[in-house]
């Protein structure tokens, strides 16, 4: 992907950017450091990217923070990630609130520690009226599980007679997702060179532009972010129609 000049005041930003933050562990291993330090550095990058998204005019930012598959990692790494998340929610939410960030969470909260669930609920309550940008953190999140849960919810409503089969369409499905009320992502960025969605927003990203960058997440910079937006604008979004 070619470097881009600053996008601020030159290109209309995508409304919704979703990012698969990949490469923390490899970043640490290449430096002979514990993987936990890679995750800590990745959290610092996330903090900077939120500020960059605000500065670039992005309205919605979704970060893939912890996937449902991440529960299969070694216990010590999960504990380190939970500790880092706990610290982040305690130390950053007040500042994000002052900045005007609305914070929401998607994912299976039943698998998260009770105190983290409480911190997440507090963040959502505190920031619910903010309008500068909506930050969605995907925690213990898997897109397949989300789709299954949405389908089950619709089926239960149909069994109760609240809706008919004719009511079931893409719009109802979208409104049954955890992301209801959030526009589908225009741009999905994945760092570290991997080129797959890894069970992230598979329904919502049906027509998103996918940009894969080789940079490991802890090294992801403002320049990388701007280059991804530049690449987004180079593409012709046809939504299944023919090109002009």
Catalytic residues: 22, 70
Token pair of 31 as six digits: 């430096």
Residue 127: C-alpha distances to residues 25, 43, 66, 157, 178 (Å): 31, 20, 21, 31, 18
Phi-psi region of 201 (alpha: psi -120 to 50; beta: other; left: phi over 0): left
**Structural contact between residues 177 and 10, judged by C-beta atoms closer than 8 angstroms:** no
Going by C-alpha positions, the residue among 225, 220, 177 that lies closest to residue 201 is 177
Token pair of 200 as six digits: 């992230």
| Angle 73-74-78 from CA coordinates, rounded to 5° | 75
Token pair of 162 as six digits: 């609240």
């Amino acid at each position: 992907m070619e470097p881009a000049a600053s996008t601020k005041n030159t290109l209309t930003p995508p409304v919704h950017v979703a990012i698969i933050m990949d490469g923390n562990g490899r970043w640490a291993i290449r430096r002979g450091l514990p993987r936990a330090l890679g995750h800590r550095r990745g959290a610092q990058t996330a903090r900077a990217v939120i500020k960059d998204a605000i500065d670039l005019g992005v309205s919605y930012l979704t970060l893939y923070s912890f996937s449902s598959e991440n529960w299969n990692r070694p216990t010590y790494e999960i504990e380190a990630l939970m500790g880092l998340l706990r610290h982040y929610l305690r130390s950053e939410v007040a500042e994000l609130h002052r900045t005007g960030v609305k914070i929401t969470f998607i994912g299976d909260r039943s698998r998260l520690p009770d105190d983290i669930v409480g911190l997440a609920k507090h963040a959502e309550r505190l920031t619910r009226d903010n309008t500068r940008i909506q930050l969605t953190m995907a925690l213990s999140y898997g897109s397949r599980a989300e789709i299954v849960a949405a389908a089950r919810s619709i089926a239960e409503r149909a069994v109760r007679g609240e809706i008919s089969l004719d009511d079931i369409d893409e719009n109802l499905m979208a409104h049954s997702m955890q992301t209801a009320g959030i526009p589908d992502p225009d741009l999905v960025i994945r760092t570290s060179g991997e080129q797959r969605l890894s069970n992230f927003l598979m329904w919502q990203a049906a027509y998103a532009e996918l940009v894969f960058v080789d940079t490991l997440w802890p090294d992801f910079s403002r320049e990388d972010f701007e280059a991804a937006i530049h690449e987004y604008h180079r593409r012709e979004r046809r939504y299944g129609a023919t090109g002009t």
